[in-house]
Amino acid sequence: MSDCFVVPDSETQDNELKKDISIRAVLLLGCGAALIALPIPHVHAQSCAMCYQGAAASGPQGGAALRHGILLLFVPAISLFVGIFALIYRRRNVAR
């Protein structure tokens, strides 16, 4: 019955506080970077004139194929990104 009311020691509280601060810092930096990048017009359209003309001339089916292709290429890139960061997160406390 006495195990129910275990008070965490100061080291555990310090670790939780550091983790909370680091998570908030990452979220704040990510939101700041997104807000800075949103008004920049070159961020929205990274394409050359020849690619734009080719995509515009392909018609609605070609546009749909390009959108599907972009999504298909997006999945492996995001998977690698998430996998690498998951590995880094999992091994964050391993002694060096």
Q: Has residue 52 been placed in a domain?
A: no
User: Is the same domain home to 92 and 71?
Assistant: yes
- Per-residue pLDDT tens, the chain, 96 aa: give them: 555 555 566 677 777 778 888 888 888 888 888 777 676 665 555 667 787 788 788 888 888 888 888 889 888 889 999 999 888 888 887 766
User: Is the same domain home to 16 and 42?
Assistant: yes
Cα(22)–Cα(28) distance, integer angstroms = 10
Q: Has residue 3 been placed in a domain?
A: no
Question: What pTM value is reported for the model?
Answer: 0.42
DSSP string, 40-73: -HHHH----HHHHHHHHHTHHHHHHHHHHHHHHH
Question: 54 and 46 in contact (C-beta within 8 Å)?
Answer: no
Q: Has residue 18 been placed in a domain?
A: yes
CB within 8 A of 66, min separation 6: which ones?
A: 55, 58
The domain in which residue 39 lies consists of 10-46
Q: Give the 3-state secondary structure of residue 92.
A: coil
